[in-house]
Amino acid sequence: MAGADPSDGQWNHSASLFGVTGPRTRTQVAIIGAGPAGLTLGHLLHRSGIDSVILERRDRAYVERRQRAGVLEHGTVDLFRSTGVGDRMDREGLVHHGIHLQFEGERHRIPLTELAGGRSITVYGQHEVVKDLIAARLAAGREICFEADEVSLHDVDSERPCVRYRSEGSAREIECDIIAGCDGSHGVSRAAIPQDAYRVFERTYPFAWLGILAAVPPSLDELIYAHHDRGFALHSMRTPTITRLYVQCAPDDPLDAWPDERVWTELRARLETADGWTLEAGPVLEKGITTMRSAVMEPMQWGRLFVAGDAAHVVPPTGAKGMNLAVSDVRALGAAIAEWYRTGDRAALDVYSRTCLRRVWRAEHFSWWMTSMLHRVPDADAFHHKLQLAQLRYTVESRLAAASLAENYVGYEHA
């Protein structure tokens, strides 16, 4: 990959080729998907003076409202702050210095900050991160095309890859130097790589999470991860007046099997403790079921296509790692692309996948470990249950075991 041409603007090719009826344009980096990965990459590229176009299948209101992650690692917070998109996060985000593990009716605090060298986490909804990044991008005059349909990737193994899509009724094409596949776990980017050019390592879990957003102040000012005979439960929050809660359910449960009353009954049974602590209930604003999977594609790149975030790997949400991994992938990708444009050296781009996969596999292991320790596994025997309790007790009693959890939870930085 030598001598990229950072030219910008309209092309004048024949409009009849490939049925393209709308404009053909050129950019340096075409980014598929306006989730945390795509938006953060666009932001980092802009700061390096590199042009990009983001193509997003959904409309702006949808992506700005989609309820997903809530926990930002220390390094994710630092990146947003140091690149000028952290003002509202600093004002409205809730900085936490500990989390709680609960089992056998007792709650145990893991003092994250004390155990992890002064580092903390920030509770700030993913949709708020998305809003901040979209606002910054539009203020910078960079392009996002919402409601882009039928996105397809072409010639990704050539020096002139392109992306075709439909927008406002016409078929369009963007030629670029690089394509970033940031289109999440149901995206199309990965399909542009021949099936024998990558491998997927995966695991599914025999349970899911039912999540609610409730208009009630959090019942405790920190997160509670609860292991219970009836199944896992999690107490989290979005703001001082909005609580986020999850209960383990079956992956094939229909949503209507979970009327609000049943959700609160299960949450109370799984979260309340013997010492009289109670969970405050309130109006349910949103409810949804998320299935759980671990998956990693290797390598995360092919030709001029670089895959990032959930498009390349997914983790079960128990470790709160997915959004943070998406951000750390594009931090590496943004730096590698900037290096290539600046010097013509593609060494960092060549090792993009290798660079990311170390962190990805650490997070995969941590997320699998938290998930395995905390959930009730259908059909597991009593021996398995005893092992889970032994692991939980060791984690809260041993300072070294607790420190390992803390180091991973706030975000492990490889040597």
- Positions annotated as catalytic residues are 96, 225, 317, 321, 409
**DSSP string covering 267-306, please?**
HHHHH--TTS--PPP--EEEEEEEEEEEEEEESSEETTEE
Separation CA 164–CA 178 (nearest Å): 14
404 touching ligand FAD, by CB under 6 A: no
Q: If we measure between CA atoms, which residue out of 134, 284, 263, 319 comes closest to residue 213?
A: 284
Separation CA 145–CA 262 (nearest Å): 41
Q: How far is the CB of 92 from ligand PHB (least distance, A)?
A: 14
**DSSP string covering 72-132, please?**
E-HHHHHHHHHTT--HHHHHH-EEES-EEEEETTEEEEE-HHHHTTT--EEE--HHHHHHH
Give the H/E segment covering residue 331. helix 322-343
Given 42, 86, 161, 187, the residue binding ligand FAD (CB under 6 A): 187
Phi then psi for residue 398, to 5 deg, are: -90, 125
CB-facing half-sphere around the CA of 379: CA atoms within 13 A? 4
Q: How far is the CB of 241 from ligand PHB (least distance, A)?
A: 15
Given 30, 41, 182, 192, the residue binding ligand FAD (CB under 6 A): 182
Q: If we measure between CA atoms, which residue out of 328, 374, 376, 333 comes closest to residue 352?
A: 333
Given 180, 188, 336, 370, the residue binding ligand FAD (CB under 6 A): 188
244 binds, among ligand FAD, ligand PHB, none (CB under 5 to 8 A by kind): ligand PHB
Q: How far is the CB of 397 from ligand PHB (least distance, A)?
A: 22
Give the H/E segment covering residue 387. helix 382-397
125 touching ligand FAD, by CB under 6 A: no
318 binds, among ligand PHB, ligand FAD, none (CB under 5 to 8 A by kind): ligand PHB
57 touching ligand FAD, by CB under 6 A: yes
User: Contact residues for ligand PHB (CB under 6 A)?
Assistant: 69-71, 223, 236, 244, 317-318, 320
Q: How far is the CB of 122 from ligand PHB (least distance, A)?
A: 11
32 binds, among ligand FAD, ligand PHB, none (CB under 5 to 8 A by kind): ligand FAD
Q: How far is the CB of 123 from ligand PHB (least distance, A)?
A: 6
Q: Which residues of the shown chain bind ligand FAD in the complex (CB under 6 A)?
A: 32-38, 55-58, 63, 68-71, 126, 148, 151, 182-184, 186-188, 209, 211, 290, 309-311, 317, 320-324, 326
